[in-house]
Structure 1
């Protein structure tokens, strides 16, 4: 890493060329649409997209090769390690342009994303610019999971999970970077397998770079489509957030600690309930206070569900409640695991391919 270097940003030329970088692993249901959406951006400057191909077990490589053969702006690079940070670094290394746009196969940019983002980079003299992540779904479960992502009760805290005012931010979803900023801090940390964007943006800010959020920029995100996949993803996310806490301490926002605290509180409530029902602890005492975390959490879930618009069915509300609980508890359990044992090889990359989007 080159964390001792300062971010120096020369003035941008008119319509600087743009390199999009995308790690790819088992994305056959999303890859072609994502690439075509990127190349269709209403940006007049030169564009290329570099796909970092991990060892997929589906048709992702064949789709990528066909895209590259059909359009010379699509370039391929291998990512045998399969990890996202390694793939992003490999794609950045072979890319050629001064603006780096980090994209994902399961995200779709609005048509004006690049044009507006480059304008904001220059106007705000920013090192990185990001916008709002708006989750979407096709089936009942995926739509409920998307509601969880979009709800302040699900992933509240980061500006990019809601329509906050434009301004400086701690991180950015995906991101439109100045190449100089990425190179100044040495790129993505290959040892941080999740939360790599937040960690990179932290180092950029520490090196004097400005990270900017703008609600004018929008990205549609297609989340996991099953609760099992969601639980694996959030367990891994919580685990690696704990690694960031172990590495950077007080630089982490307080919200990183909330899910782990919740899991500990609910565990205390569950144990207290068992002991009270079994008669080991008397009800006519102060011990029922152990039930407060569970009661407060259930009340919070109830408030979140009650705020869902009236047109949603009882099933939608139940699925949303299940989504929120899965997010919170999986994240919290992963966080506690990571605090004790570190990251290890926890990935949580399961994704069910939606054939309707191929």
Structure 2
């Protein structure tokens, strides 16, 4: 339990007083991987289940997860991150998360078939796996779950995805908070790509390329409007090609909206702002993390 000023500590103390099975483990530094490791070390049962804040478990989450763990022999089981919303904005973000054009192709963002996976959302672990491969890397303030799954797979053990195992997740509540979260996520993904060859993927290169192309295209539109035919022939032809990039990006946004069946039309139109608020900050963050490292980048959107 990290330090907070929003009443969380008082609520946890009340829960501990009401139920002796609940144990609070202080985490003075407030960092996620540190808190996870402290809690795991304080545990004694054979199965460890991670549940983050702003999540909502299905009634059979624990029983289903443990059954899958035992049935498959996996050492880490995860399910679908089922993004949900209480407001029109949150529901639009949830629709973006469900779209392949939102957060990419990770199994836990889509209805991929059950089977071995690269990573797992949250995680239901055999307790023994931490003795075998080690605990969460406390230098990774984000992305520590992916790195843990990497070590599990490198040890010849299995990470398993079960699409019937759902966790409700409530996204950020504003464009500002969503952009800050996306930037931090991109920075730490860049850090992972910088540290590990396995952390590199073509799908992670696409957002920076998209941002570069769109920026050049918008610059070309502006220069063409100002200078017009005074631009030499060859540069003008190159600028004509560059101007296709923002058009293509707007086309992708239109496709994403057309393929989204969630919510009324006015909520789906919010995707015109939501998707760029995910793509552009993430891309800038990824480049920063890839080149300079994360350097303690922290998203404080929900920290009080």
Q: TM range, normalised to the smaller chain?
A: over 0.9
Equivalent positions of 1:336-351 (< 5 A) are 336-351=287-302
Distance 1:348 1:251 in 2: 21
Equivalent positions of 1:288-327 (< 5 A) are 288-309=240-261, 312-313=264-265, 315-327=266-278
Instruction: Report whether the alignment pairs 1:156 with 2:107.
Output: no
Q: Is 2:253–2:271's contact at 8 Å kept on the other side of the alignment?
A: no
2:83 corresponds, among 132, 135, 147, to 135
Q: Which runs of 5+ in 1 are unaligned?
A: 1-52, 354-358
Length-normalised TM-score, structure 2: 0.94
Q: Is 1:225–1:351's contact at 8 Å kept on the other side of the alignment?
A: no
Aligned length: 300
SS for the counterpart of 2:138 is coil
Distance 1:180 1:209 in 2: 12
Backbone CA RMSD of aligned residues: 1.8
Equivalent positions of 1:226-237 (< 5 A) are 226-237=174-185
Aligned to 1:21: none
Distance 1:329 1:285 in 2: 27
Aligned to 1:171: 119
Structure 1 residues 150, 271: closer, same or farther in 2, change over 3 A? same
Aligned to 2:211: 263
**Runs of 4 or more consecutive aligned structure 1 residues displaced over 4 Å after TM superposition:** none
1:241 corresponds, among 189, 208, 212, to 189
Aligned to 1:64: 12
Aligned to 1:202: 150
Deviations 1:289-335 (A, max 9, x none): 1122211111000111122338613x313212211111111111111
Aligned to 1:94: 42
Q: Which runs of 5+ in 2 are unaligned?
A: none
Distance 1:87 1:286 in 2: 52
Length-normalised TM-score, structure 1: 0.80
Distance 1:173 1:73 in 2: 25
